[in-house]
Structure 1
Amino acid sequence: MKLMHTVRDILLLFVLLSLFSCGQRKPSVVPNQEMAERLLKEADSLMRADSAFWYMPVDRENPRVCRHDSLVRQKLDDALLMCPSLKKAYLSKYIYLLRSRKMEELLPLLRKMETNVPDSIAADMWHLKAALEDRAGYRDTARHDFLKADTLYALALRKTMKEKADTVQYAMLRLMKALNLSVFYDDFNLIRNEIRLYNGVHQTPLGNAELLSAFTGKEVYYDYLFE
């Protein structure tokens, strides 16, 4: 497994896995689902048609907007309006916004997900929502979301241990759990200790994720993540 080099890469990977998982299940058909899924496929084709947007790493300094942006957005939004309980529609738009680095649009989307499809929100998405809520001043909501993320990370760790999965995958989950708690408590000694533990066990370098060791508090982390 190739280790991700930034926190945003980790978030995107887990969401991609969530989307893949949705595609593997056979959920019950909901009203207008067939038409909504057709729109999602069309939006996906438009995204992939812009190879520089879809296949190149996300550049936080110079984010690239898909050349079919308005049409992609229209199809994604129409799919959500047509079928507000379709999980894949939210995940597709979430991925699109992450790749476009439209961070200011993520919170409204995540709030809609919490209302309409709460069971489709993965731990990393709860963490991101918590950070956005906290940054917007909604402390109680942020606290709930950080704790929700922590619970899901703990469940994922137990599942990984039970299945004896890849040790790097287990380590990455530990790092994400520690990061979530570091931001929640505004104490980055937690993630620093976890990074030291990782470096003492694994030979694969963490890359830019090592930057987390230098963060002095959650506001620095928020600036790194969202600016």
Structure 2
Amino acid sequence: MWTQLFPALTALAGTVIGGLVTLSAASKQAKASREVARQQFENQLVLAQHQLAAQLEAERGKQRRVKIDEAYGQLMLWMHDVRTLVDNIWVAIFSDDAAFVEETHKALIEWPFETLRPPREFAPAQFYWSDDVNELLIKFGGRSAEFVMNAKASLVHKIPSEGHSFELDSEAIDIANGKVVAGHDALVCIVSRIRDVVKREMRDGKTC
């Protein structure tokens, strides 16, 4: 009997063992597939996170660029007004227009309180001005002090409201005017340098 059953048992055992081997292989394949899927998911998640971070950084960069553009636009408006006033002072020392001279003299009186101070609405923009720009603005302020002093001396004899009874001789006037002209040229040069720095930084995308 056992002799007759042996082939069948052998076949059954072979089938069971084969099935177990097949199941084991399938299980390993499934596990490997799950591991591959998990790894792919993690890689995709990391990639998505990096892409999101890059997009956020790019958006922040765009917003900062807009603010910098606005800040330097405001700076250029202010420099335009300052340059115009410096030119007016230079013109006034040679002008016979009493009203124009008096208006210019008033601007000189207000210089440290008005002209040298950026408009109040420009205050937030100053945070975006570079160190190079701020250094030139400080230099402009220092150089303008001598310019204003000389311009006042040059114009004072032309201002009736000042009540001066003396007249400067032509040589003294020429000396005073010469100092104003030199100061004007120096200030215009600084304004031009500020513009050049701003153009370079806007082109290269560099600020402080």
By the TM > 0.5 criterion, same fold?
Answer: no
Which structure has the larger Rg? 2
Instruction: Determine which structure has greater relative contact order: mean sequence separation of CA pairs < 8 Å that are 6+ residues apart, divided by chain length.
Output: 2
* TM bin (shorter chain): under 0.3
TM-score normalized by the length of structure 2: 0.26
TM-score normalized by the length of structure 1: 0.25
